[in-house]
Amino acid sequence: MRRHHALLALALAALAGCSAAPPAAPPAPPAPPAPSAAPAGQPDTAPAPTAPPSSGAAASAPSQVTSVEVPAALRAVVDAADRADADRALDAGRKPAETLAFFGVQPGMKVAELEAGGGYTAELLARAVGQGGVVYGQNNRFVLERFAEKPWSERLKKPVMKQVVRVDRELEDPLPPEARDLDAVFLILFYHDTVWLGTDRAAMNRAIFRALKPGGVYAIIDHTGRDGTGVADVKTLHRIEEKVVREEVERAGFRLAAEASFLRSPTDTRDWNASPMVAGEKRGTSDRFVLKFVKPGG
């Protein structure tokens, strides 16, 4: 009888073991600590370095530059005593020192300015790149015949312009074959004019893309049009909606790397003609976008 009770107790213990939860597995080793969101000594809000774009990857957002540090060498370019008084009078509205600094102009560079006009910016570029650099100054027939031939020809006689190559070509193919592997191409306050002039802007932007070296800069500044106007005001108000320029240039293969606000004018109503011929006292006060596009691969 005693043996029967013992066997029954063993059976009941076995049944209880089947319904109980299995013993807990040994604890897993602790996971390694997650990498710090920012390097030591930097706040978590510091921007992460931009990785090179990969195929199919979304492009990184452009840098928003609110303040431009101007190197002493570029400040000296603008402050040169032999610059013409007429050029100096434009400086307050054009901010040339910030422009040269933002787009990274340095001695020895090979650059171009499209629709150089009378040469205000081309001369500054020539001074900035120095004797070891070169500046291709392009104008098309329309600009030369209407207003630029005389002032441009006179400016090219100045000793400081000796590294400037005069280029008379149309915008669809604006640079000569030898203008290759350029560091930068500038188009200042003229992109809107390419629209009403009937320029094939896709061909123009592709030609600029080919002329630049990988990592080269396509520098565009223009008068801002009102939101939603597109290209409707390019001739009447000499303004263009910023997003139109972005879309067209990016379509040619460029990446928008940075934009600056040093020529922004929040009080500009954007409903008046910004052409220098008619702006009068308002000249230099229009709201202007400053866009730095880059040819990928640099």
Q: Is 52 inside a domain boundary?
A: no
Helix (H, G, I), strand (E, B) or coil at 63: strand
pLDDT of residue 277 exceeding 80, the answer is yes
Q: Is 92 inside a domain boundary?
A: yes
Q: Is 209 inside a domain boundary?
A: yes
Rounded CA gap, 227 and 97, in Å?
29
Q: Is 142 inside a domain boundary?
A: yes
pLDDT of residue 57: 38
pLDDT of residue 133: 98
Q: Is 249 inside a domain boundary?
A: yes
Around Cβ 125, how many Cβ atoms within 10 Å? 29
Rounded CA gap, 209 and 112, in Å?
12
Q: Is 3 inside a domain boundary?
A: no
pLDDT digits (tens, 9 = 90+) for 98-107: 999 999 999 9
Mean pLDDT computed over every residue of the chain:
86
CA distance readout (Å), 19 to 6, 12, 15, 26, 78: 21, 11, 7, 21, 88
Q: Identify the CATH number of the domain in which residue 126 sits.
A: 3.40.50.150
Query: Which tokens in the block code for residue 35?
Result: 């990498």
Question: From the centroid of its chain, how far is CA 178?
Answer: 25
| Residue range(s) defining the domain that contains residue 179 | 63-294
Q: Is 23 inside a domain boundary?
A: no
Helix (H, G, I), strand (E, B) or coil at 135: strand
Model-level pTM? 0.80
3-class SS string, 231-275 = CCCCCCCCCECHHHHHHHHHHCCCEEEEEECCCCCCCCCCCCCCC
- Say how many domains are in the chain: 1
Rounded CA gap, 288 and 282, in Å?
13
pLDDT digits (tens, 9 = 90+) for 140-177: 999 999 999 999 999 999 999 999 999 999 999 999 99
The two beta strands, 212-223 and 288-294, are antiparallel
pLDDT of residue 298: 73
Around Cβ 38, how many Cβ atoms within 10 Å? 13
pLDDT of residue 201 exceeding 50, the answer is yes
Helix (H, G, I), strand (E, B) or coil at 181: coil
Q: Is 37 inside a domain boundary?
A: no
Confidence of residue 60 (pLDDT cuts 50, 70, 90): confident
